Amino acid sequence: MKKFFALYIPTTTAVNIAASPELINQYRVKVAATLAGIAGGATEIEGHGSWVSDAHGLVTEKVYIVKAYYKRMSKADKAVIGGLAKELREAFLQEAISLETEKGLRFV
């Protein structure tokens, strides 16, 4: 399979404040369960990301990348993933959340 989607879960809130372990774990489980429900499985990768905030300059943080490969996906499934990205952005008070596919990366 070549088609995939991945959501990047941040570990900060309001750009540069450490998120609670409970919030992080809540969304690690929710994202994995959602993507696995759509694609049949998902993999989580721990990494580090850096980006430039207009308000705070360079922000570097641990991220969890939850990725799933699929053969076919419905418009409804795409809407669920997009909605989950927006939910992550709001829950973590982020400027944007990264959503990656085989076509590239976009910020939600």
The three-state DSSP-derived secondary structure of the chain is: CCEEEEEEECCEECCCEECCHHHHHHHHHHHHHHHHHHHCCCEEEEEEEEEEECCCEEEEEEEEEEEEEECCCCHHHHHHHHHHHHHHHHHCCCCCCEEEECCEEEEC
Give the pLDDT of residue 3: 96
Give the pLDDT of residue 23: 98
Question: How many independent structural domains does the chain possess?
Answer: 1
Give the pLDDT of residue 55: 85
Q: What is the mean pLDDT of residues 31-52?
A: 96
pLDDT of 54 above 90: no
Domain span including residue 102: 3-107
pTM of the model: 0.93
pLDDT band at 47 (very low <50, low <70, confident <90, very high): very high
CATH number for the domain that contains residue 97: 3.30.70
